[in-house]
Amino acid sequence: MRNNIFDFSNTYAKLPKNFYEKINPRPVKNPELIEFNSNLSRFLNIDPNRINDENGKLFFSGNVIPDGARPIAMAYAGHQFGNFVPQLGDGRAILIGELIATNGKRFDIQLKGSGKTSFSRQGDGRSPLGPVIREYLVSESLHYLGIQTTRSLAIVRTGEKVFRETPMPGGILTRVASSHIRIGTFEFFFYKNDIKSLKKLADYTIARYSLNTVNKNRYEVLLKHVIKSQAKLISKWLSIGFIHGVMNTDNTSISGETIDYGPCAFMDHYNPNQVFSYIDYTGRYSYINQGKVMFWNLSKFAESLLPLLNENMEKSKEKAVNSLKLFPKYFEENWSKEMSKKIGLKKSRKKDLEIINDFLELLKNNNIDFTLAFRELSKLIKKINTPFFNKNIKNRKQFTEWSLRWKKRLEQESFNESQIAIEMDKVNPIYIPRNHLVENIIKNAELHDDFSPMKEMLDIIKKPFSEKPLKEKFSLPPEPHEVVPNTFCGT
Ligand code: AMP
Ligand code: MG
């Protein structure tokens, strides 16, 4: 029998002192537990029946440190919009400790918005409630869409104001991640030329992810593992129209989990060059650039591992370059697989890429909603046209030609039409947390103290592939006056 509500261990805090700062969250004035994720709590071996509004608000604000936790702020560096910053680190987040989940894996429990640390630079270490709500909704949505991501355990309203352009209610998110090790964590030691620490970090990471390094160059295994995981992740993002918005190397996790939900958003109408982030003037982190940017980020990771890959620098470089060459291949393979599934193909062939790309071209030229278009496709299997495509496609001849070509290809599949339609509906969601709805939810919470729209959306995103009666508004793109063109980091 466990007495503690949380059974914390602290492996990262046992690493050398230069990996982090030992620091407790700064207490907040008047915490209030707004949301608690019971499902995730059970997975983390926290009995949700033992969390109530009273103790929950204390734990998840950081006002009370649970027994066994050893809070730290992690050190890391990173390339932000291509520029190297030698010291970033947890400036508004604190790692409370680690829990072993029911699947036997280790997870970090982190409070985000928990007050100043020595990495805060000019920041206040706090977060407004709005970005906390956004991260909770979008990260949980990605989870239920089957995409690797950090998750959200709790939202606390702090009862304090956070000053940005205007005073805003403060919030704290409890974030759960398989680790918070980033490409930027490796860069931190590499750019200091602290090879001893770099090696320690790499060894810790290899052990934490139980990578099989028997008879192999262990650091090459690590590099290839990250390359593979990220190729998979970015293909998944693209397959659901997700735009991360701030893919700096400090926001790129070694785990291949989506991390650091800042100015992220799902696109509505298909536009490969779509950008939401207010500060992304050049479109560096646009939808379609995400693969290229990850390749760039991975090259920074490979560079950071150069001192470990081989004693001879030339040989190290060769290993790094050869490993990096795998990324475009993995990425294309994963992307083709994901997109093929969306149009009902179990296996993708080279020629299928034309069908996929031509469909995307139709969406682009006709300004069609990405999510709905793929969802509607399964209805098209039995028909020549549907009201959705009738309404949205200008050049009907071109569309009919495309759909005949697609159906001809489907005939080569070994499944019947209705099976194909069912499979398609399992990968093409109806419900994503659309940006205009998220903004509206935040407004209701911040201005009217009304969290019911947030709770309603949380319920919807748990089953993104099954249609719910009377919930159509959650599936629809914004009307022109509802469009929210920009998102903010909220820092
Ligand atoms: P981000 O772009 O949100 O990933 O943050 C980049 C860096 O800025 C990280 O080191 C953060 O810890 C830090 N940071 C962001 N917002 C704040 C804040 N309000 N106070 C202190 N540090 C912050
Ligand atoms: Mg970050």
Determine the distance from the C-alpha atom of residue 6 to the mean position of all C-alpha atoms in its chain, rounded to a whole number: 25
- Residues paired with 99 in a beta bridge: 107
pLDDT by residue (tens digit) across 450-462?
A: 999 999 999 999 9
Give the pLDDT band of residue 2 (cuts 50, 70, 90): low
Q: Is 91 in the pocket of ligand 1 (CB under 6 A)?
A: yes
**Tokens standing for residue 401:** 């030609």
**Is 425 part of the annotated catalytic residue set?**
no
Distance (Å, rounded) from C-alpha 133 to C-alpha 129? 6
Output the CA torsion sign for 281, 286, 292, 298: positive
**Pocket of ligand 1, candidates 94, 161, 491: which has the most ligand atoms within 8 Å of its Cβ, to mutate?**
491
Q: Where are the domains of the chain?
A: 12-180, 181-430+475-491
Answer whether residue 228 shows pLDDT above 90: yes
Burial code (b: 16+ CB inside 10 Å, e: under 16) for 373-411 equals: bbbbbbbbbeeeebebbeebbeeeeebeebbeebeebbe
**Tokens standing for residue 167:** 């005073």
Q: Over the chain, what is the mean pLDDT?
A: 96
How confident is the model over 96-100, as a mean pLDDT?
Answer: 98
How confident is the model over 73-97, as a mean pLDDT?
Answer: 98
Give the pLDDT band of residue 402 (cuts 50, 70, 90): very high
How confident is the model over 344-350, as a mean pLDDT?
Answer: 92
Answer whether residue 1 shows pLDDT above 60: no
User: Catalytic pick from 90, 108, 250, 425?
Assistant: 250
Model pTM score:
0.97
Distance (Å, rounded) from C-alpha 174 to C-alpha 431? 24
- Write down how long the chain is: 491
Distance (Å, rounded) from C-alpha 120 to C-alpha 116? 6
How confident is the model over 371-379, as a mean pLDDT?
Answer: 97
Tell how far the Cα of 470 is from the centroid of ligand 2, in angstroms: 38
Tell how far the Cα of 402 is from the centroid of ligand 2, in angstroms: 42
Q: Under a CB-based contact definition with an 8 Å cutoff, are residues 172 and 158 in contact?
A: yes
Give the pLDDT band of residue 485 (cuts 50, 70, 90): confident
How many C-beta neighbours within 10 Å does residue 477 have? 18
Q: Under a CB-based contact definition with an 8 Å cutoff, are residues 152 and 173 in contact?
A: yes
Q: Is 341 in the pocket of ligand 1 (CB under 6 A)?
A: no
**Which ligand is nearest the CA of 112, by number?**
1
Q: Is 126 in the pocket of ligand 1 (CB under 6 A)?
A: yes
Q: How far is CA 54 from CA 58, 240, 288, 308, in A?
A: 7, 38, 45, 49
